[in-house]
């Protein structure tokens, strides 16, 4: 860990760096899954979903930057390589053999719901550790992910 005058105890900073890197891996995976859907979606809703998925990928990219920078601010290293992401993401692998818009909506809604759940857990962990700033960061991510999930699920053909 690098030296910093940040007044959070080193133990808390270490714990938060690990938590941030875990969600960073998930966020990078989520962005790539969203781009996979963007590039490959087909069907009657093509243009609406193609544009939505691209917009959502851009939003996730902004969260990736904020999460990574917070880890570095706390004296850590942000691990954003493909190898780091592959070894630590908690998201299920995205199916690369789907093209139908309904299949992409289902797969992405699963991914966004899973990411949202892990981010909400991160809010609690950061708050319990006494790092209100990291908890606040994850709260914003959570709000945006819930909104994205709503947008994706709005394209589902059948109501649940």
pLDDT in tens, 13-38: 999 999 999 999 999 999 999 999 99
Q: How far apart are CA 118 and CA 103, in angstroms?
A: 23
Q: For the chain, how big is the Rg over CA atoms in Å?
A: 17
Burial (CB count within 10 angstroms: exposed 0-12, middle 13-18, buried 19+), residue 24? buried
Q: Do 46 and 101 contact (CB within 8 A), yes or no?
A: yes
pLDDT of 157 reads 64
pLDDT of 158 reads 56
User: Which residue(s) pair with 100 in the sheet?
Assistant: 42
Residue 49 has pLDDT above 50, yes or no: yes
Q: How far apart are CA 58 and CA 152, in angstroms?
A: 15
User: pLDDT tens digit string along 79-132?
Assistant: 999 999 999 999 999 999 999 999 999 999 999 999 999 999 999 999 999 999
Mean pLDDT across the stretch 3-17? 95
Query: For the whole prediction, is pTM greater than 0.85?
Result: yes
Q: How far apart are CA 35 and CA 70, in angstroms?
A: 24
Half-sphere exposure of 139 (CA within 13 A, CB side): 9
Domains of the chain: 10-153 (1.20.1260.10)
């Amino acid at each position: 860990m690098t030296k910093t005058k940040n007044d959070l105890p080193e133990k808390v900073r270490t714990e938060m760096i690990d938590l941030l890197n875990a969600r960073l891996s998930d966020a990078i995976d989520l962005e790539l899954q969203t781009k996979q859907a963007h590039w490959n979606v087909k069907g009657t809703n093509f243009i609406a979903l193609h544009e939505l998925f691209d917009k959502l990928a851009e939003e996730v990219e902004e969260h990736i930057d904020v999460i990574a920078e917070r880890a570095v601010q706390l004296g850590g290293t942000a691990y954003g390589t493909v190898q780091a992401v592959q070894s630590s993401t908690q998201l299920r692998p995205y199916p690369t053999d789907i093209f139908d818009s309904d299949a992409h909506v289902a797969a992405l809604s699963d991914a966004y719901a899973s990411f949202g759940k892990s981010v909400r857990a991160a809010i609690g962990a950061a708050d319990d550790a006494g790092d209100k700033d990291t908890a606040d960061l994850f709260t914003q991510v959570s709000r945006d992910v819930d909104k994205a999930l709503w947008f994706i699920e709005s394209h589902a053909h059948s109501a649940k």
